[in-house]
Amino acid sequence: MQYLLDTSICVFFLRGKLALDEIIKEKGRENCFVSEITALWSRKQ
């Protein structure tokens, strides 16, 4: 199964409210993706 990490999930991770690194390890890095919108947003922050 593939997972799209949206902006909200990434914000929770950046604020220390989510162990996203552990989730990615569990699901497999090759199955986790970030949208272009989220990637562009994160560069501006």
What tens digit of pLDDT does each residue of 1-45 get? 999 998 888 888 889 899 988 989 999 999 999 888 887 777 766
The whole-number pLDDT of residue 10 equals 84
The whole-number pLDDT of residue 11 equals 86
The whole-number pLDDT of residue 41 equals 74
4-35 CB burial, b ≥16 within 10 A, e <16: ebeeebbeebeeeeeeeeeebeeeeeeebebe
Instruction: Report how far residue 23's alpha carbon sits from residue 32's, in angstroms, rounded to the nearest whole number.
Output: 9
